[in-house]
Chain A
């Protein structure tokens, strides 16, 4: 074992593999059985994640017909996409947009997390809840809300602003215009920032403060301490959050697509969407474009792993507890509160309010009066059998997908970190790849994989799709949690005779309970909002709310879609409350590692 930074402290030390003593400890299950279990898991990952991915990538090597792919092989699409400038331009646009959104989200998200997690601000639980509330909205639903709020002439915000300004001038002026590049960045930032907050606030809270104290004692200023001690220690969480936001932003097609046409730019995911659905379809081009995004994510995962290789040495959760006094904000407290309030206003109060109002309107309008309101949408929703079936399917799938991703993700990461070898590392790497491919392209692979099985046409194929799509988060988040957990406790259990399974069940999982809950919450929320694969795989017997929302939006019935969006949000909150009551872990504190 290499030397610790503080020998004997047990708080900050290099993360070693299991020691020889532990490895020699008596095991609870025969090696063969464990190996078989791991092989079964690897096989499951290959079947549910990699084969569809293979199909999705392979689709680019077929000749296109007007309505799909012909049986003939062709390199034409791959040549057009990779050797032309058009798709590279779209990719660059997507990466620039994702980069801007990620930077803004990281800057604000980490700052918010720091303010709530490490300072003496009060009502932390309330701020936790308020800052993470946008997670309960899909970005597209959020966009609908911001179209109602921020359209130049009829947006509610601009209406209020013009009304206020009217005292001084008669000229109508727009405070914001959501139909612009800045509007896209703004809306995406609002809805991705909570991911950064969730991933970092827990680490900041759980972090041992002795290093910060040591820095301050050695004469470092508060800012120096933050930048040289606090942030580097939290870098695994920050990098994981940054990568997640970047990938999510890079594959988002709805917001940049809908606004981009008006604002005059096109991103690769929107081009892939158009290639996939607009006649004449270009499925091979869509697959090739999707592969471009796959390369980006592979690079991102590689980069994250490389960067966290150093950070892995900084273990902040050891066998000993710690309590760190919060940083006093002093005269900066009003400014900190103003920043948090501004975010909560823009990300919660305004969009949720606008969405609720929209769901009660007969049609879109910049002017609100009594005649325009109706409860018809909710009456229709709860009075229609199909809607209720979709609601049940949505809840059922979210719960199952969440549990599956927790278990699979945890075991994959645990085997990679505690028993590192080529096979376990490869499985961990492969299992995160599906995150990179846009859902529309990946969905085609899923259809081809499962079409000829009895699962097609049932909700189970949607479950497989959700597990395949969100397992990467289970792997990445549990890995981050495990990285920050010193194996001394596991070693101790093993030395005292516990087998690997018992150690995992009695030590590792309870310690990582908040992290595992974080994955459960996250996958549940993402499953409820998932659209791109669902829309390709659902049938009349397996409808889900996200698909229904899309259909009503696609048909221009934005008010009904808003009502479904509100129901979706309430389901998400309900599920989180239930899980919280059952396991005693709050979503806001679940991402504590």
Chain B
């Protein structure tokens, strides 16, 4: 690669393309090395910054920086609403959102970092392995939140990244399409979906995403093999669900009345649509998969580090987490937070009875394989 890169200006056009790639890769490698080397010196800068608990000091420093850039993985509307709440709380510090989902965000951030284009301050990624990789590779700054002790360990990656909220799987249904008896039946457990009365009335998705995988992950849990297992997935596929490539389309089709309910729903998605007035409700069959979502950390190369720290503190304190619950509707991971999700006061709403915590190791190991199995079962049944 090195020789190829050196030869770049002198090679013939077809070779030049390949050589320039090598040249860029070499430059990237060197730059990454330099960045990593320089980043070891970074703590000196960090020491000059106000302490995590010094909110006034952080705010003053953040005001001088003027803004922060927040790479978000969640829906733009909801994240903009959260950003607006922060701007109200801290006038003079603007939040610029940039939506990049999952692995795309990781790739973009890594490309930018290797080119020394430091644009992002705070990263919010819905893909846990991507955030874990960023932490392991040293791209996320260590920052212990003042509220760190109130965030369960399963929702933290040491003192680097924190899950902002949890995602709880739910059956989202059109309130005009299910009877009270049918709702009660579905609440008893996932296997109720196989009741012949529901055949052809619900939707699923083979899409690869966290909320799509969570139920598959649970159904394929070796401990629940007798109850579910691959056989259960096969029966689900044979119940002739409508399969949509995009998980949000499954919910949209329920809202429109095209399908009666979707198995591939989660509470926050339902909350957003309910807020818009959509005729939907949701229920939690037993057991209910729940996992930490929207992992947030501060870029080690943040161009506005104090604004980033102030923002991360705020999103994980009572005010910020409360605002998130209010305007976005997801359940915060912050323990001891006064419940602020508006829909939980509705008469139809029932909290999940039995939560199923995902096994992160098995999740990472089997995600692709399990989802491929589910997609192939769906295809076979079509």
**A interface residues, Cβ below 8 angstroms from B:** 46, 50-51, 54-55, 58, 66-68, 71, 148, 151-154, 179, 257-258, 260-262, 264, 270, 274, 277-281, 362-367, 371-372, 447-448, 451-452, 456-457, 536, 539-540, 548, 551-552, 554-558, 560
Are the C-beta atoms of A556 and B251 separated by less than 8 Å? yes
Q: Is the CB of A556 within 8 A of B243?
A: no
Q: Please tell me which one of the listed residues B114, B130, B252, B368 contacts residue A67 in the complex, with CB atoms under 8 A apart.
A: B130
In the complex formed, the residue of B with least CB distance to A151 is B258
Do the beta carbons of A456 and B115 come within 8 Å of each other?
yes
CB distance from A175 to the nearest CB of B (A): 15
State whether B97 touches A540 (Cβ < 8 A): yes
Closest chain B CB from A174 CB (angstroms): 11
Taking the complex as formed, is B356 at the interface, i.e. its CB lies under 8 A from any CB of chain A? no
Q: Does B256 contact A (CB under 8 A)?
A: yes
24 A-B Cβ contacts within 8 A?
A51-B17, A54-B20, A58-B18, A68-B107, A148-B256, A152-B258, A154-B256, A154-B258, A261-B205, A261-B243, A262-B242, A278-B208, A280-B368, A364-B252, A365-B279, A367-B257, A451-B112, A451-B115, A456-B115, A456-B117, A540-B98, A551-B99, A552-B77, A557-B77
15 new A-B contacts at CB < 8 Å, known A363-B273, A448-B21: A51-B17, A54-B17, A260-B245, A274-B208, A279-B127, A279-B130, A279-B208, A362-B277, A365-B257, A366-B257, A540-B97, A540-B98, A551-B75, A554-B248, A556-B269
B42 CB–A CB distance under 8 Å: no
| Residue B246 CB within 8 A of the other chain | yes
**Contact string, B65-92, partner A, CB cutoff 8 A, digits 1/0?**
0000100001111100000000000000
Rounded to whole angstroms, the CA-CA distance of A216 and B341 in the bound complex is 78
A68 touches B18 (CB 8 A): no
Complexed CA–CA distance, A372 and B279 (Å): 11
Measured in the bound complex, the distance between the Cα atoms of B107 and A451 in whole Å is 13
Given contacts A71-B29, A278-B208, contact A363 B277 (CB under 8 A): yes
**Chain A residues near B53 (CB, 8 Å)?**
none
Task: State how many residues of chain B have any CB contact under 8 Å with chain A.
Answer: 67
For B29, B119, B206, which residue has the most chain A Cβ atoms within 10 angstroms? B119
> Are A539 and B119 in touch, CB under 8 angstroms?
yes
Q: Which chain A residues border B133 with CB–CB below 8 Å?
A: 66-67
Is B76 a contact partner of A153 (Cβ separation < 8 A)?
no
Residues in B with CB closer than 8 Å to A54 are: 17-18, 20-21
Query: Are A153 and B258 in touch, CB under 8 angstroms?
Result: yes
Shortest Cβ distance from A369 into chain B, in angstroms?
12
Known: A68-B106, A151-B256, A448-B24. A258 touches B273 (CB 8 A): no
- B214-256: CB near A (< 8 Å → 1, else 0) gives 0000000000000000000000000000111110110111011
Kindly state the separation between the CA atoms of A270 and B375 in the bound complex, as whole angstroms.
15
The verdict on A457 contacting B117 (CB below 8 Å), with A68-B106, A557-B75 known, is yes
Alpha-carbon gap, A365 to B253, bound state (A): 9
B188 touches A (CB below 8 Å): no
CB distance from B135 to the nearest CB of A (A): 13
Contact of B278 with A by CB under 8 A: yes
Shortest distance between the CB of B367 and any CB in chain A (Å)? 8
> Judging by beta carbons under 8 Å apart, are A539 and B255 in contact?
no
- The answer for the CA separation of A152 and B207 in the assembled complex, in Å, is 22
How many cross-chain pairs have Cβ atoms below 8 Å apart between A and B? 155
Residue of A51, A281, A364, A447 with highest tally of chain B CB at under 10 A: A364
For A279, give its contact among B102, B111, B243, B252 (CB under 8 Å): B102
Ranked nearest first, the 8 interchain pairs of A and B with the lowest CB-CB distance are A54-B17, A556-B248, A555-B75, A261-B245, A364-B256, A363-B278, A540-B98, A451-B115
Task: List, in ascending order, chain A residues with CB within 8 A of B246's CB.
Answer: 258, 554
B250 and chain A: residue at smallest CB distance? A556
Q: Nearest chain A CB to B132's CB is how many angstroms away? A: 10
State the CA gap A536–B279 with chains docked (Å). 35
Asked whether B27 is an interface residue with its Cβ less than 8 Å from the other chain, the reply is: yes
Chain B positions 92 through 119: 1 when the CB is less than 8 Å from some CB of chain A, otherwise 0: 0000111101111011101110110101
B50 within 8 Å of A by Cβ? no
The reply to whether B111 and A451 contact each other, CB–CB distance below 8 Å, is yes
Let me know if B255 and A261 touch, CB within 8 A.
Answer: no
Q: Let me know if B117 and A451 touch, CB within 8 A.
A: yes
What's the least CB distance linking B371 to chain A, in Å? 9
Q: How far is the CA of A271 from the CA of B32 in the complex (A)?
A: 31
> What is the CB-to-nearest-CB distance from A218 to chain B, in angstroms, rounded to a whole number?
53
- Can you list, as one digit per residue, whether each of B357-382 has a CB less than 8 Å from chain A (1) or not (0)? 00000000001100000000001001
A362→B96 contact, CB < 8 A: no
Give the interface of B toward A (CB within 8 A): 13, 17-18, 20-21, 24-25, 27, 29, 69, 74-78, 96-99, 101-104, 106-108, 110-112, 114-115, 117, 119, 127, 129-130, 133, 205-209, 242-246, 248-249, 251-253, 255-258, 269, 272-273, 276-279, 367-368, 379, 382
In the complex, chain A residues whose CB is within 8 Å of the CB of B277: 362-363, 371-372
Nearest Cβ distance between residue B240 and chain A, in whole angstroms? Answer: 12
- Do B245 and A279 have beta carbons less than 8 Å apart? no
User: Are the C-beta atoms of A555 and B208 separated by less than 8 Å?
Assistant: no
Chain B residues lying within 8 Å of A448, measured Cβ to Cβ, are 21, 24, 111
**Which of A148, A548, A555 is the one whose CB lies under 8 Å from B248?**
A555
**Residue from A55, A148, A366 in contact with B21 in the complex, judged by beta carbons closer than 8 Å:** A55
- Is B130 a contact partner of A153 (Cβ separation < 8 A)? no
Q: Closest approach, in angstroms, between the C-beta of B203 and any C-beta of chain A?
A: 9
Assembled-state Cα–Cα distance A451/B130 (Å)? 21
- Say how far A372's CB is from chain B's closest CB, in angstroms: 8
Q: A67-B107, A556-B75 are in contact. Are A154 and B257 (CB under 8 A)?
A: yes
Shortest A171–chain B CB gap in Å is 16
In contact, A66 and B256 (Cβ under 8 angstroms): no
The answer to whether B248 touches A452, judged by C-beta atoms less than 8 angstroms apart, is no
With the chains together, A50 CA to B252 CA distance in Å? 41
Residues from chain B with a CB closer than 8 A to the CB of A179 are 242
- Asked if A151 meets B253 with Cβ closer than 8 Å, knowing A68-B106, A448-B21, the reply is yes
Which residue of chain A has its CB nearest to the CB of B107? Answer: A68
Q: Separation in Å of the A400 CB from the closest CB of chain B?
A: 23
Determine which residue in A452, A540, A556 has the highest number of CB atoms from chain B within 10 A of its CB, and name it.
Answer: A556
Contacting residues, chain B, for A151 (C-beta < 8 A): 253, 256, 258
Q: How far, in whole Å, are A557 and B207 apart by their CA atoms in the complex?
A: 18
A540 contact set on B, CB distance < 8 A: 69, 96-98, 119
Q: Which residues of the partner chain A approach B379 to less than 8 Å between Cβ atoms?
A: 264
Question: CA–CA, A548 to B242, complex, Å?
Answer: 28
Q: How long is the Cα–Cα vector from A280 to B129 in the complex, in angstroms?
A: 10
| B256 engages A366 (CB within 8 Å) | yes
Bound: A558/B74 CA distance, A: 16
Q: What is the bound-complex CA distance between A328 and B62, given in angstroms?
A: 76
CB of A457 within 8 A of CB of B111, answer: no
B96 and A277 contacting across the interface, CB-CB below 8 Å:
no
CA distance A84 to B52 in the complex (A): 54
Contact between A68 and B103, CB atoms less than 8 A apart = yes
Assembly CA distance A363 to B367 (angstroms): 32
Given contacts A154-B258, A556-B248, contact A362 B278 (CB under 8 A): yes
Contact of B243 among A152, A262, A372 (CB under 8 A): A262
Q: Is the CB of A261 within 8 A of B75?
A: no
Known: A364-B255, A365-B256, A556-B269. A262 touches B245 (CB 8 A): yes
Does B115 contact A67, Cβ atoms closer than 8 Å?
Answer: no
**Docked-complex contact B101 and A554, CB < 8 angstroms:** yes
The CA-CA distance from A179 to B382 in the complex, in Å, is 13
| Nearest residue, chain A, Cβ from B69 | A540
**Which residues of chain A have C-beta atoms less than 8 A from B244's C-beta?**
258, 261-262
Residues of A within 8 A of B112 (CB): 451, 456
CB closest residue in chain A, given B208: A278
Give CA–CA (A457, B77) in the complex, Å: 22
- In the bound complex, residues from chain A placing their C-beta under 8 Å from that of B208 are 274, 278-279
Across the interface, which residues of A come within 8 angstroms of B29, CB to CB? 71
B129 contact set on A, CB distance < 8 A: 66-67, 279
Query: Shortest beta-carbon distance, B285 to chain A, in Å?
Result: 22
